[in-house]
Amino acid sequence: MREILHQAGGLVMNGQNVLMVTSRQSRRCWLFPKGDIDPGQTAETAARREIMEEAGVGESMHGREKRLRRWVTLAQAARRFAGDSP
């Protein structure tokens, strides 16, 4: 039986573009910023933290997120999410 993961994330938009990041396991896999909900943390707080970390805001302090980031159109996001384009 698979373990149930409790994660939170968000869709970060800049005008008509959305932020996508690569997964930790593969730079070929594109996804929207998300991550685990820490014990005692609300889903909203976890989503905000994950977006800040994966958008690169906390990298200078923590240096733990080593992902590629791209602002893409919604159509490009749909293709990247499906694995159709890098």
- pTM score above 0.85: no
Q: Which domains does the chain have, with CATH numbers?
A: 7-81 (3.90.79.10)
For residues 73 and 65, which has the higher predicted lDDT (pLDDT)? 73
For residues 63 and 13, which has the higher predicted lDDT (pLDDT)? 13
- DSSP annotation of 65 reads -
* DSSP per position, 4-53: PP-EEE---EETTEEEEEE-SS-TT-EE-SEEEPPTT--HHHHHHHHHHH
Give the tens place of pLDDT for each residue, 17-70.
999 988 888 888 888 999 999 999 999 999 999 988 887 766 544 445 677 888
Report whether pLDDT(82) > 70. no
